[in-house]
Amino acid sequence: MAEFALAARDQSARRGLLRLAHGAVETPAFMPVGTAATVKGLTPIELQEIGTQILLANTYHLWLRPGREVIVQAGGLHRFMGWPGPILMDSGGFQVFSLETRRSIDPAGVTFSSHIDGSQHRFTPANVIEFEEALGADVAMVLDVCVKLPAQQPELAAAVKLTTQWAQTALEARRRPQTALFAIVQGGLDHELREQSARELTALEFDGYAIGGLSVGESRDDMYRTARFCAALLPEDKPRYLMGVGTVADLMMAVDGGIDLFDCVYPTRCGRNGRAMTRSGELNIRNAEFRFDYAPLDADCGCSVCATFTRAYLSHLSRSGEMLGARLLSHHNVFLLNALLTQAREAVGAGRWSSFRDRTLAQVSAGHPELVEER
């Protein structure tokens, strides 16, 4: 079940509302990654308090641990992890890509050995959908083939062909109407293959469409250009999801290209590694310069971390390896992205997207010019 309606447009940027079984999501929206049924370091209550609307979970990791039976007997993934809002489940296609030495692909699916204990497992387009539906996902992603870039045209073409075949199989395998089904456009940086993939998948009438196979080795400029190209190929009345992006600049450029949903481990990974995200760049809070810095991380931030703690204290926690440091930085980082997209929605609705985009990108460029490439 998915209903999507656009509320406003400003150039290519869109503001919309995506209604799912466990609630509505205002778009554009960021999805923190809860790979193993948890967003690292943050509780469901904290995630709600900082504006999170929807989480991402991962089929590959939950398949291996704790397994389908444990979650189903708990009453489904929402009850198991204590999250009341929508959940999008990734198909495990990215792990098929990232764990390439542990898997083999054939026309019917993927056979892989667990990175935990070496046990053998089999993913097919049908049993992945069955697993996602059994766990009660609001959105189920179809199994796809992601190719590391740079790649040659024959490899990309084979991936597109298999991704389309698997999408058709997944669509035929769906049984649970409450679970929306999203297909994934592939094709690397080859625009002809991207167009072919989008044409074949949109003909199958999925509930939404993702742009996959980016942020896997290409330049940011290539990623932005390809994502914008793909977005223009997708239906106006369906949600568009760019997979695996999570910096301030990435989100601004993707919203500018007409994309609605995003996910990434970046904000919580930064938090665990002593990095604070701000709109004017990132801070390595472990650096000595912050030992006697009693300012907040970001004076303009509205999160409880910035209202309560100083850079000096957060530097102490992180340098000392205290788990609270990682939690507080992750809290701040996810809050930042949620707040950024709240303001993006307001800017689109008010017809001032261009000025908001340019001001935000100028701030990022001033602190981290390498994160902003040519539009």
pTM of this structure: 0.96
Query: Which of residues 212, 235, 264 is at a domain's end?
Result: 264
Rg, Å, the chain Cα set: 20
- Residue 375: the pLDDT is 30
Judgement on whether residues 102 and 27 belong to the same structural domain of the protein = yes
Q: Of 143, 96, 360, 104, which is closest to residue 254 (Cα–Cα)?
A: 360
Query: Which of residues 264, 281, 296 is at a domain's end?
Result: 264
Judgement on whether residues 318 and 360 belong to the same structural domain of the protein = yes
CA distances, 316 to each of 2, 295, 325 (Å): 46, 14, 8
Judgement on whether residues 187 and 326 belong to the same structural domain of the protein = no
Query: Which of residues 264, 291, 322 is at a domain's end?
Result: 264
Q: Which residues, 6 or more positions from 265, have their beta carbon under 8 angstroms from its beta carbon?
A: 33, 35, 246
- Residue 371: the pLDDT is 46
- Residue 373: the pLDDT is 41
Judgement on whether residues 122 and 245 belong to the same structural domain of the protein = yes
Domain range enclosing 275: 271-367
Rounded to whole angstroms, how far apart are CA atoms 375 and 369? 13
Tell me if 170 is assigned to some domain.
Answer: yes
Judgement on whether residues 292 and 212 belong to the same structural domain of the protein = no
Strand order in the sheet with 87-90: 29-32, 261-264, 240-242, 208-211, 180-185, 139-141, 87-90, 55-58
Tell me if 375 is assigned to some domain.
Answer: no
End-to-end CA distance of the chain, in Å? Answer: 35
- Whichever domain contains 136, its CATH number is 3.20.20.105
Tell me if 373 is assigned to some domain.
Answer: no
Rounded to whole angstroms, how far apart are CA atoms 136 and 49? 24
Tell me if 18 is assigned to some domain.
Answer: yes
Judgement on whether residues 282 and 243 belong to the same structural domain of the protein = no
CA distances, 32 to each of 10, 154, 238, 306, 372 (Å): 26, 34, 21, 20, 22
- Residue 34: the pLDDT is 97
- Residue 97: the pLDDT is 74
Query: pLDDT by residue for the chain (375 residues), tens digit each?
Result: 799 999 999 999 999 999 999 999 999 999 999 999 999 999 999 999 999 999 999 999 999 999 999 999 999 999 999 999 999 999 988 887 788 889 899 999 999 999 999 999 999 999 999 999 999 999 999 999 999 899 999 999 999 999 999 999 999 999 999 999 999 999 999 999 999 999 999 999 899 999 999 999 899 999 999 999 999 999 999 999 999 999 999 999 999 999 999 999 999 999 999 999 998 899 999 999 999 999 999 999 999 999 999 999 999 999 999 999 999 999 999 999 999 999 999 999 999 999 999 999 999 887 654 444 433
- Do residues 366 and 278 lie in contact, with contact meaning Cβ atoms separated by under 8 Å? no
Tell me if 374 is assigned to some domain.
Answer: no
Tell me if 25 is assigned to some domain.
Answer: yes
Judgement on whether residues 325 and 237 belong to the same structural domain of the protein = no
Judgement on whether residues 252 and 355 belong to the same structural domain of the protein = no
- Residue 374: the pLDDT is 35
Judgement on whether residues 248 and 348 belong to the same structural domain of the protein = no
Backbone phi and psi for residue 94, each to the nearest 5 degrees, phi listed first: -70, -35
- Residue 372: the pLDDT is 46
Rounded to whole angstroms, how far apart are CA atoms 292 and 313? 9
Tell me if 127 is assigned to some domain.
Answer: yes
Q: Which residues are catalytic?
A: 90, 263
Judgement on whether residues 258 and 277 belong to the same structural domain of the protein = no
- Residue 368: the pLDDT is 54
Judgement on whether residues 236 and 362 belong to the same structural domain of the protein = no
Both tokens of 20, joined, read 């799912």
Tell me if 372 is assigned to some domain.
Answer: no
Judgement on whether residues 243 and 320 belong to the same structural domain of the protein = no
CA 352 to chain centroid, in Å, comes to 25
Single-letter code of the amino acid located at 311: R
Rounded to whole angstroms, how far apart are CA atoms 60 and 114? 9
Q: Domain total for the chain?
A: 2
Rounded to whole angstroms, how far apart are CA atoms 108 and 169? 10
Rounded to whole angstroms, how far apart are CA atoms 23 and 239? 15
